[in-house]
């Protein structure tokens, strides 16, 4: 067995992860709606031998449309287009368990896996916020615990549907006139608290068996869910110590759930701001921060903290009295991360807005290619990461620079592949393909 190697995922976010990136003279403010822009990013990441790319999504307006590009093409649709624009890179779409149904979503994701030759992944989210709930006829978001209970059953149903066709079901025997062996296409007959689904899926088992399962929540419910289901975890952690703590906690929970910790990869987010010199990188970071519109950023912060705007002063620290995490029904882990960060570093609201504008709580590193590579290596070799969710502050230039200057350093150090050794996303991540499910019955198969 060779030496352990990094896994790199590209997180695509229109013009870049810094909220003011769209205001730079070189940025295309319509990149969020451009297939060509996404194709360029996918091809650059694939040429650099990234494991995968990832598209975030929400069934509601994504942020404040006054602040930055807010439109989002539905990710499984976009990934279908990118599947024919690329050959090897994995393709991960975000989809909500709160505002989808298992049959339809399992079918869409399996379709992408078929069309891409086994490169699909699903970032499982439960979706916080009343805005999304009101788009689906609800007065407000379901309780945090209820959303995770639904998600648990949702993934159970989806995996059963993916397994409803055995690997050897299709024989395509022209002489006998038999296309599939009928008792190898099986009903799932699921009846639970949230879903009742007969099955089978109207699509044969996909190349990976199951699309790769990814998760990003870091609340207690989120970490327990990840321990049961996730195969890769995206996480926002601002310091090395916090990342190490999260990494150890997740691996412990995975073992307690009876799973192999080597089969659950932890990929913290990192926002690289690159320059030929550290001063040049700092100058770009400062230019981006100057372009943040405080009125929009302040409105976002008050919404996240669940406080009125008159309680926040730009040049003072956060107020002493804030809601507890237990009272938050939205993004619990992100709320706690931001409040703890602000209190620990004694940040003013203006300083906090600047840091959140760059990476929304993810680690931002401004520096030379060697400094960025050193940071990645240090985390990787010191119990903090199995790889990274790369979140360039500016796109496409930040990805171009990372692929051109940082990836070769990681390759020279023997930390990252120089060629793909497999075909599927599971191959890239070194994860096993799920086997057939002998526990599924044969009743209910359509004539």
Per the annotation, binding residues for FMN are: 57, 94, 144, 148, 218-219
Nearest-5° Cα angle at 188, 185 to 192: 170
Give the C-alpha separation, 329 to 225, whole Å.
17
Give the C-alpha separation, 447 to 442, whole Å.
12
Note whether 256 and 163 are within 8 A (CB).
no
The residues, any chain, with a CB within 8 Å of residue 7's CB and separated by 6 or more, are 51, 232, 265, 267, 386, 387, 388, 428, 429
The residues, any chain, with a CB within 8 Å of residue 34's CB and separated by 6 or more, are 28
Please name which of 215, 221, 267 lies closest in space to residue 429, comparing C-alpha atoms.
Answer: 267
Q: List binding-site positions.
A: 57, 94, 144, 148, 218-219
Tokens found for residue 102: 């298992």
Tokens found for residue 169: 């079901």
Match 């650099």 to its residue by tokens.
Answer: 48
**Cα-Cα-Cα-Cα dihedral of 409, 411, 415, 418, to 10°?**
160
Alpha-carbon separation of residue 238 from 160, 214, 241 (angstroms): 37, 21, 9
Note whether 159 and 124 are within 8 A (CB).
no
The radius of gyration of the chain from alpha carbons, rounded to an integer in Å, stands at 22
Alpha-carbon separation of residue 135 from 38, 58, 306 (angstroms): 27, 11, 21
Note whether 275 and 311 are within 8 A (CB).
no
């Amino acid at each position: 067995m060779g030496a352990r190697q990094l896994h790199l995922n590209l997180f695509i976010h229109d013009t870049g992860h810094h909220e003011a990136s769209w205001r730079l003279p070189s940025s295309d403010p319509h990149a969020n709606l451009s297939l060509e822009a996404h194709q360029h990013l996918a091809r650059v990441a694939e040429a650099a031998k990234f494991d995968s790319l990832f598209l975030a999504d929400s069934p509601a307006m994504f942020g404040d449309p006054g602040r930055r590009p807010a439109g989002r093409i539905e990710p499984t649709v976009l990934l279908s287009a990118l599947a024919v624009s690329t050959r090897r890179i994995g393709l991960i779409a975000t989809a909500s368990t709160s505002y989808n149904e298992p049959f339809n979503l399992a079918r869409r994701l399996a379709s992408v896996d078929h069309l891409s030759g086994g490169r699909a992944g699903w970032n499982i989210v439960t979706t916080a916020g009343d805005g999304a709930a009101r788009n689906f006829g609800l007065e407000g978001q379901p309780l945090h615990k209820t959303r995770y209970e639904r998600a648990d059953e949702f993934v159970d149903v989806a995996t059963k549907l993916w397994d409803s066709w055995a690997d050897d079901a299709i024989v395509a025997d022209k002489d006998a006139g038999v296309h599939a062996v009928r008792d190898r296409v099986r009903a799932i007959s699921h009846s639970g608290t949230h879903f009742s689904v007969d099955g089978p899926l109207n699509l044969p088992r996909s190349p990976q068996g199951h699309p790769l399962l990814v998760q990003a929540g870091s609340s207690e419910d989120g970490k327990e869910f990840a321990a049961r289901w996730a195969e890769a975890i995206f996480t926002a952690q601002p310091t090395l110590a916090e990342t190490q703590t999260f990494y150890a906690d997740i691996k412990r929970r995975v073992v307690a759930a009876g799973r192999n910790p080597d089969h659950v990869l932890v990929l913290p987010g990192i926002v690289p701001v690159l320059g030929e010199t550290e001063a040049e990188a700092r100058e770009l970071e400062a230019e981006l921060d100057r372009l943040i519109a405080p009125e929009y950023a302040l409105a976002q912060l008050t919404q996240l903290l669940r406080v009125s705007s008159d309680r926040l002063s730009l040049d003072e620290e956060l107020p002493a009295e804030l809601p507890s995490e237990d009272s938050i029904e939205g993004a619990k882990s992100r709320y706690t991360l931001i409040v703890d960060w602000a209190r620990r570093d004694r940040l003013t609201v203006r300083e906090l807005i600047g840091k959140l504008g760059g990476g929304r709580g993810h680690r931002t590193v401004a520096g030379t290619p060697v400094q960025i590579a050193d940071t990645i290596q240090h985390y990787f070799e010191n119990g903090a990461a199995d790889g990274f969710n790369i979140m360039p502050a500016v796109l496409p230039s930040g990805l171009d620079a990372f692929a051109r200057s940082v990836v070769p350093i990681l390759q020279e150090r023997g930390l990252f592949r120089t060629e793909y050794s497999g075909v599927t996303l599971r191959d890239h991540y070194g994860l096993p393909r799920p086997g057939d499910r002998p526990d599924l019955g044969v009743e209910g198969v359509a004539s």
